Chains A and B, each alone.
Chain A
Amino acid sequence: MRYLHRGLWFLASLALLVGLIWVWQLLADARILPRAFFPGPDRTWRALSRGFASGTLVADTLTTLRRLALGWALASLLGVGLGALVGTSKWAQAWIAPIFEVLRPLPASAIAPVLLLFLGLTDSMILTLIAFGALWPMLLTTVHGFSNIHPRRKEVARSLGMGRGAFIAKIALPGALPDIMGGLRLGLTVALILVVVGEMITVQGGLGARILLAARAFNAAEIFAGVALLGVIGLVTNALLGLVETRALRWQRR
C-alpha cells in the first residue's frame, strides 16, 4: 500500500516533468522563447541524435567520464588513506588537521591557474585539478569519522584484547564508513564541477569543451545537448553511489 502510494506520486511527478517539457516545446514552437537561446526539446533531441550518429558526442562523453572516474578514484584513494592516517593519530590531529580547516573554504577551482602554469593545457592538468579539488571533502570527512570513535568502543576493544590492526578493521573503519561515504558523495559533486571547468579552460576535448565551443559558435541546440548529457552523468553517478551507500550502510535504520 505504502509502495503503491509512493509509486503513484512518482508517476505524477514524472508526468509533470513530461508536461513541463511539452510546455517548453509549445513555447518554442510559438516563438515566445527566443530561438537563439532556447532551442526547444525537439532541436535539442536532434542535436543529441546527430552527435551520437557522428560519434563525436560519444567520444566527448567518454572522455569526460574517463577523467571524472580517474580523478575521483585518485582523490578517493588519497583522501581516505590520508584521512585514516590523520584521524587515527593524535599527533597528526594536533599538528596537521588545523591546516585542513584553513584550506577548506578555498574554492578548489582557484588552483586551476596554478596548475595551468605547471602543467599547461593538458589532460594531466584536468586530472590533477579534479584529484586535488575532490580530495579535500573526502579527507575532512574521513578524518572526522576516524577521530570521532566513541571512547566506549575503544574500551570494548581493549577489554576484548584486540590489536591495533583488528581495531582499525573491525571498529574504526566500519564506524567511520558513514562519514567516508558522505565524503565520497561530496567529492563526486566537486569532481563533476571540476571536470567541466578543466575542460572549459584547456579545451582538450570532453563535454565541457564541447559546450563552450558551441556557445562561441552560437549553437544553442548543441549546448543543450551537452548540458543534458552532463545532467545525466551527474544523475547516474550519484544514483550509483547512493546504491552502494545504502548497501554498505544498511545497518543504519532511517
Chain B
Amino acid sequence: MTALKGLALPAALLLAWQLAVMLTGLQSDTIAAPDAIFAALGRGLTEPAFWADTGDTLAAGGMGLALGFVLGTMSGVLFGLIPPVGRVMRVTVELLRPLPAIAILPIALLIFGFGYRLEVAIVAFGTCFPVLVLTEAAVRQIEPRLSEVARALALSPGARVRKIVLPAVLPRLFVALRLAAGIGLIIAITVEIAANPIGLGARLMQASNSLRPADMYATLFWIGAIGWALNWGMLRLQLWLFPATKGAAQ
C-alpha cells in the first residue's frame, strides 16, 4: 500500500508530461516525451555499445572501490589498533579528507592520461578516506573489550587481527563497503562527465552535446537505476550477512 502511494505521484507526473507533449506537439532540443525516452532506453538495451559503456563505468568504479577499500581498511585497522599511529597521522588525514576527490582529476590526468587508470585512481582516493574513518572508529570501539581476551590467550599480533579484530569489526566494515560503493559510483560518473571519455557519464555528456534529449534522459534513468539497484542489493546483502546491523541500515 505504501509503495503504491509512493508510485502514484511520479506516475501522474509522467502521464501529465506525456499528455502535455502530445497535446502541444512539442519539438525540442531539451525536453523529450516519456514514450521517446523509454523507446531510447529500449534501443540502448539492445546495443552492445550501451552495455560496453555500462561495463566500463562499473569496472573502473569497481576497481577503484577495491583499491580504495583495501587501502582504507588497512590503514584504518592500523590506526585503530595502534592508537599513537592514528594520533600522529591525524592532521595529515584531516587535511586531505575534506579535499573533494574530483579536485585531484587534473593531477591524475597528467600522470595517467585518459582512460581506466585515471578513473580508478580518483575513485580509490575518494573512497579510501571514508572507509579509513569508519574502520578506525570500528576497531577502536571494539578493541578495549577484546584486547584483554587476546592478552589472556597470548595471541600474536597477527592472530589478534585475524581472530579477534576482523570478525568483531566485519559487520561495520561491510557497512563501510556499502557506503563506499555508493560514493564510488558517484565519483566514477562524475569523472566521466567532467573529463574521462569512457563509460555512462561520457555517454550522457555526448547525448547532451549532440542535442539528443531522449538518449540523454534514457541514460540518466539507467544511471539512476544502477545506483538504486546497487544500494538495494548491498543493503539486502548486509542484512542477510549481518542481521544484527539492522539499526545501522541507513
A interface residues (Cβ-Cβ under 8 A, vs B) = 9-10, 12-14, 16-17, 20, 36-37, 94-99, 101-114, 116-118, 189, 192-193, 196-197, 200-201, 208, 211-212, 214-215, 218, 220, 223-224, 226-227, 230-231, 234-235, 237-238
Which of B91, B185, B204 gathers the greatest number of chain A CB atoms within 10 Å? B91
Interface size class of B (residues with CB under 8 A): 35 or more
Which residues on the B side are within 8 Å of A111 (C-beta)? 220
Q: In this assembly, does B227 line the interface, its C-beta being within 8 Å of a C-beta of chain A?
A: yes
- In the complex the two chains form, what is the Cα distance from A117 to B107 in whole Å? 29
User: Would A117 and B29 be within 8 Å (CB), given that A105-B231, A193-B100 are in contact?
Assistant: yes
Q: In this assembly, does B201 line the interface, its C-beta being within 8 Å of a C-beta of chain A?
A: yes
Q: A15's closest neighbor in chain B, by CB?
A: B88
Which residues on the B side are within 8 Å of A101 (C-beta)? 6
**Is A109 in contact with B189, judged by CB distance below 8 angstroms?**
yes
B interface residues (Cβ-Cβ under 8 A, vs A) = 2-3, 5-10, 29-30, 87-92, 94-96, 98-107, 109-111, 182, 185-186, 189-190, 193-195, 201, 204-205, 207-209, 211, 213, 216-217, 220, 223-224, 227-228, 230-231
Q: A94's closest neighbor in chain B, by CB?
A: B5
**Is B208 in contact with A106, judged by CB distance below 8 angstroms?**
no
Interface residues of A, dominant DSSP: helix
Q: B227's closest neighbor in chain A, by CB?
A: A105
- In the complex the two chains form, what is the Cα distance from A148 to B182 in whole Å? 25
**Is B110 in contact with A36, judged by CB distance below 8 angstroms?**
yes
**Is A9 in contact with B208, judged by CB distance below 8 angstroms?**
no
Q: A118's closest neighbor in chain B, by CB?
A: B30
Which residues on the A side are within 8 Å of B194 (C-beta)? 109, 197, 200-201, 212
**Is B10 in contact with A99, judged by CB distance below 8 angstroms?**
yes
Q: How far is the CB of A63 from chain B (nearest CB, A)?
A: 15
